[in-house]
Amino acid sequence: MSSISPANASAEETIYTCSFEPPHRLKLESKTLTPRGTVLRLSDADHPEIPPRHVFVTGAELKMGYENVYKACFLCVDRGRKEKAFAVPKSDLE
């Protein structure tokens, strides 16, 4: 765990959007740091009844020199659209 904002920690939601139109909205429920990478627990912000999924970001992905890590949107994959992705800022993965 890095920084915890002091006052006004009014749980601002972290939402990632994929490149589909209209974009899917993936809500970050939690993250778990492991020796091999970071596990993100993501739910569908527009359909909270759908069980959250786990998306694994490997240490190798974190080491690549980009600002964001791109992961396939599982809501798109469910619909057979594998090419759509959402960006996760690396600052969210530390």
Question: For residues 31-90, which are near Zn ion according to CB under 5 A?
Answer: 73, 75-76, 84
Q: Is the dihedral of CA 4, 34, 66, 41 positive or negative?
A: negative
Using CB under 5 A, pick the residue from 18, 40, 42, 55 that binds Zn ion: 18
Using only C-alpha atoms, what is the Rg of the chain? 14
Toward Zn ion, which CB reaches closer, 5 or 21?
Answer: 21
Toward Zn ion, which CB reaches closer, 75 or 88?
Answer: 75
Nearest to 57 by CA among 78, 27, 37: 37
Q: Which residues bind Zn ion (CB under 5 A)?
A: 18, 20, 24, 73, 75-76, 84
